[in-house]
Homo-oligomer: A and B are copies of this chain.
Amino acid sequence: MTEFYDRLEESFRSSFEPPSPPDGKMQPWTETEIVGKPLPRVDAFERVSGKAEYTYDVILPDMVYAAILRCPHAHAMVKSIDTSAAERMPGVVAVLTDKSAGADIQWYGGGYGGGPMQSRLFDPHCRYEGEEVAAVAAQTPYQAWDALKAIKIEYEVLPFVIDQDEAAKPDAPRLFDAGNATGKPMPNERGSVEKGFAEADFVLEETFSTSAQMHAALESHGSVVKWDGDKITIWDSTQGVYDACMLSFARTMKMPYNNVRVICRYVGGAFGAKLELGKYTVIAALLARKAARPVKLMLSREEEMLCVGNRAVARMTVKAGVKKDGTLTALELKHVYTPGAYSGMAFVGFIFQELYKCPNVKVTDSGFYTNVGRSRAFRAPGFPTGAWALEQMMDMLAEKIGMDPVELRLKNFTDVSQSRKQPYSSAGLKDCLIEGAKKFGWQEAKAGKKDNDHIIRGVGMAAGLWMMGSGGPPYTAEVRMFADGGVTIKTGAMDLGTGTKTAACMVAAEELGVPLENIRIINADTAITPYASSSGGSMTLASLVPAVRQGAWIVKRQITDWAAESLGVTADDLEFNKDAFASRSNPAKRRTLEQIFRAKNVMDVIGIGNREPNPANKVVMPFSAQFAEVEVNTKTGEVRVIRMVGADESGRVVNLKTYENQVYGGMLQGLGYGLIEKRVMDRQTGKMCNANLHDYKVPTALDVPVDHEVVTVDLKDNECNNVGCKGLGEPCHVPTAAALANAVYNAIGVRPVNSPIDNRTILDLLSNRKRG
């Protein structure tokens, strides 16, 4: 017994020293064992079995259901609200209106870039069909919906405007006192386009337009909220538990950050529409406080279509100058932007300023508010729109000077950022163009163009880039290793379905030298996981995995130092293999992880990894080029995409499987943008005609090209970050619609300047074409 307690007490005087910060510096990986492989997702079982808990799945004891009463008019003023009947409806536990919400609730959600903000929770001036007017919580969703109908609203219906040209007129119905313009047109010019046009051998001009595309994520927006005294827990379908939800909610409700816990372990798609705090979240929280019960508030598909975003309608007039040898001399874009009833997000001009070497570029944005649901960030906001115009214009120039479209783009390739005047850390556009063309068989396909009765084939291509794919700090990841080699990663990062969690696990396994099955990951819970910025802008992977690698490296470095100390060798002499360290010079000198941890009397070692800053003198961007072959049915107007090749330079491939899936998904959503998807507004009522997934068509399995392939370009970019990866989700979506438009032009000889190129568009174009 005495011995036993001696030993017991001795353990309190152990040799353990707090981990000292490791010396040395991480080196770029040369060869990798796990990273780069095509691996299934670590959460695949949860996702396919239904065990994954999405916000929609959260059910809490005593929970009630909320619903929002929305303005049925395109433009109206609420004159009075009578909720007395609704309050007496069966099951109703709380009713909320502008009056009862309180004027001091300043919603920090909607609107970008300084335009009019949708800041009042229930604004009596309703500017679009679907704007929030009141809300109800009841025992069942059905009771809540029924109660909405019992709320009596007196509206003053106002004249509306849904068209940008109408909105521009001086006598148009006004959305705001200051008028309908989104701001003063602010030209941004580099060099002199006038000079550039003068130097050109040819100057072409064309006007392009794109329709509003809906995000149409599988899981609708919504929140479940639960108060505990002055603290709240929010399960939200969001792209960012921190920035998008926690911070904005705390600001809206004037609460300390620490009192707001946001959880979102799984998201059923987002595409940019879930980058901001929802009004529904604030409404749910206020109802929950009134009812003193947890509240669930998930939007219906119709509400999704009307109220939580879309890709803005755009009209782009492009003027371009080119020399006979293909040198671009000037690019000018006049962009008219139609964000809907409040300010949206779209960077349409950037691709003109950045994609090609061109000394003279001028971009002028102007825009007008209309009585339509506000646009939001949408997968590479503005870039597929800008590419639609720029990349068709590039093909027009190529045709004009009799040059191959790929050659023209290579002619104007640059490895220096045109807008920043700094070199790229890696400039993959050239390789995307060449390797993509090779894989597609561009030369052969172009030459082999042939008609088959009323089915005409055509090929086309386009290029793109994305401005934010570098990712960057702040971004923190925690890596913790147990004595038996088990590892847990904690990160605030979202996994929007893109495979982020799997990539993080692979990077940790690679750095630590342990099998992938040793790694667990806990993500997206503000109480538990460290800060991560929202998942958007293709920034997640390139922000997260370098932080994970750093955390893992700190852990490994610490353990290696302990192993070296205990074996009497230098750390550099040690090699780690799965669960043990051995000396390279004397393999008999060996310590297992268990032995090392036990000797130090340590159960777990924690490394806090921070995302290091991006290189100061380089610009980090990912690049993409896509090639498509289409068949146009001249009788029906149908366009079928036969095959596509997507070539992407997004740095190191972390998981080949999810990388390829991203490109497939990006191309398919681009196919929808280019050929299928279109919000239809009723000019008589200002209401949306197709606010459902029956009338609003998204691509389905039958639209997927039978043959679609991915080319990965890896230029061993060791400067962008310690893993060498860049963002992919957006660049792989940028060129698609334009490539398809070019292919259609190649088939039918008439340029489809307006998207989408649906059957009616093709038939219209064909009826107007002059056969060459």
Contact = CB atoms under 8 A, between A and B. Distances in A.
Interface of A: 1-2, 4-5, 8-9, 11-21, 45, 51, 112-114, 186, 188, 228-229, 242, 247, 250, 256-259, 337, 346-347, 349-350, 363, 365, 467-468, 470-474, 476, 478, 480, 482-488, 490, 518, 520, 522, 527-528, 530-531, 539, 550, 600-604, 606, 608, 610-614, 616
A1 B610 contact: no
Contacts of A21: 20-21
Contacts of A188: 2
Nearest to A522: B527
Nearest to A251: B484
A61 to B, nearest CB: 9
B527 A486 contact: no
A110 to B, nearest CB: 15
A476 B606 contact: yes
Given A2-B186, A188-B2, A610-B18, A256 B484 contact: yes
A14 B228 contact: no
A616 B256 contact: no
Contact of A604 (B15, B531, B604): B531
Contacts of A250: 484
Q: State the copy count for this chain.
A: 2
Contact of A350 (B5, B19, B470, B539): B5
A569 B539 CA distance: 36
Contacts of A258: 482, 484, 486-488, 518, 520
A14 B11 CA distance: 46
A488 B256 CA distance: 12
A604 to B, nearest CB: 5
Contacts of A365: 1-2
A337 B1 CA distance: 11
Given A1-B186, A113-B1, A242-B603, A528 B522 contact: yes
A474 to B, nearest CB: 5
Nearest to A604: B531
A9 B417 CA distance: 14
B487 A13 contact: no
A596 to B, nearest CB: 13
Residue with the greatest number of chain B CB neighbours at <10 A, chosen from A17, A472, A473:
A473
Contacts of A601: 473-474
22 contacts: A1-B349, A2-B186, A2-B365, A4-B112, A4-B114, A5-B350, A8-B468, A9-B467, A12-B468, A12-B539, A12-B614, A13-B472, A16-B473, A17-B613, A19-B608, A20-B21, A250-B484, A256-B485, A258-B486, A258-B518, A259-B486, A522-B527
Contacts of A8: 468
Given A4-B113, A474-B601, A530-B606, 14 more contacts: A2-B186, A2-B349, A9-B467, A13-B614, A16-B613, A17-B612, A257-B483, A257-B486, A258-B487, A258-B488, A474-B600, A488-B527, A520-B527, A531-B604
Contact of A606 (B1, B16, B608, B614): B608
A16 B471 CA distance: 13
A198 to B, nearest CB: 25
A16 B614 contact: no
Contacts of A550: 18
B228 A613 contact: no
A21 B347 CA distance: 40
Contact of A18 (B51, B337, B520, B612): B612
B51 A228 contact: yes
Contacts of A485: 256
A8 B610 CA distance: 20
